[in-house]
Amino acid sequence: MLTFVGLGLYDEEDISLKGVRAIKDADMVFAEFYTSKMMGTTIKRMESLYQKKVTVLSRNEIEIDPTWLHHAINEEVVLLTGGDPMVSTTHVDLRLRASDLGIKTAIIHGSSIASAIAGLTGLQNYRFGKSATIPFPYHSRSKTIISETPYNVILQNRDSDLHTLLFLDIDPAQGFMTIPHAARLLMQVDESNALEAALGVGIARAGSPDVMVHCDRLISLATSDFGAPMHVLIIPATLHRMEAEALVRFAGAPDDVLD
């Protein structure tokens, strides 16, 4: 059997009691941290708390050649992931692969940034539209390519008066994208100035003792310091009065959002 266990947002203590029990009952415990990083812990600390050896899998071992899945045919196997397991389509694909091998699966959910953003900002969860990831630019010959996909997603959501959650890229060579970097990339592709006066809400280190939530105009976020990763960025649609008040009180939004 294969059990997906969500570790939550930040460190080894975010896991549920059900998750800890599944780990202790497992024959083998694997983990992947390329879809989401647990910035507040280490493998050593996880192994100490869970009293189990944790083997970290590479991206190739998750997406291309997951031969480790065969252990779950006759043994109890746990896969640890940051956040909530099935938020990532990568894990849905793994579950389907396991099913193809006749492996039973179970899911033990964990806290996710997808739900935490509503609590941290006061933005209503049912008013979020499609999310997107802002990737690092890449170079093609002598040209730098900036993806316009997240920008287009923002505009599409705006047409339906929906907020947009933007995940920020993680790259082995370039590290963790920051909120200021993401804001500058959006402004670079905003040739029609659709985001000229747009609000942005930056969240850094969700789930940690020093979480930072700050709302301002996108142009101001482009020069703000949010500190250490991980970061996400929200582009709100029009604000309900309660949402506006929450952003002013809890995220330092400019008072004119109440107008």
**Structural fold of domain 2-111:** Cobalt-precorrin-4 Transmethylase; domain 1 (3.40.1010)
pLDDT on residue 139: 82
Tell me, what's the pLDDT at 214? Answer: 98
pLDDT, averaged across the chain:
95
Name the pLDDT band for 35 (thresholds 50, 70, 90).
Answer: confident
First-to-last alpha carbon distance for the chain, in angstroms, is 55
The structure tokens listed for 160 are: 């339906």
Q: How far apart are CA 164 and CA 88, in angstroms?
A: 17
Assess whether the region 2-111 and the region 114-258 belong to the same CATH fold: no
H/E element holding 30?
Answer: strand 28-32
Q: What is the mean pLDDT of residues 13-31?
A: 97
- In what order do the strands lie in the sheet containing 105-108? 55-56, 28-32, 77-81, 2-6, 105-108
Q: What is the pLDDT of residue 141?
A: 77
169-188 average pLDDT score: 95
Q: How many CB atoms lie within 10 A of CB 191?
A: 9
CB 166 within 8 A of CB 134: yes
Averaged over 124-128, what is the pLDDT?
A: 96
pLDDT in tens, 193-252: 999 999 999 999 999 999 999 999 999 999 999 999 999 999 999 999 999 999 999 999
Provide the residue ranges of all domains of the chain, joining segments of one domain with +. Answer: 2-111, 114-258
Q: pLDDT tens across 48-78, in order?
A: 999 999 999 999 999 999 999 999 999 999 9
Residue 6 is predicted with a pLDDT of 97
pLDDT for 88 beyond 90: no
pTM exceeds 0.85, yes or no? yes
* Ramachandran category for residue 228: left, alpha or beta (phi over 0 → left; psi -120 to 50 → alpha): beta
- DSSP annotation string for 207-259: TSTT-EEEEEEHHHHTT----SSPEEEEE--S--HHHHHHHHHHH---GGGG-
Q: Tell me, what's the pLDDT at 116?
A: 96
Q: pLDDT band for position 89 (50/70/90)?
A: confident
Q: Give the fold, CATH level 3, of 114-258.
A: 3.30.950
HSE-CB at 249 with a 13 A cutoff on CA atoms is 9
What mean pLDDT do residues 134-162 have?
94
99 has pLDDT over 80: yes
φ, ψ for residue 75, nearest 5 deg: -130, 165
Q: What was the pLDDT predicted at 164?
A: 98
Percentage, residues of the chain above pLDDT 70:
100
pLDDT over threshold 90, residue 101? yes
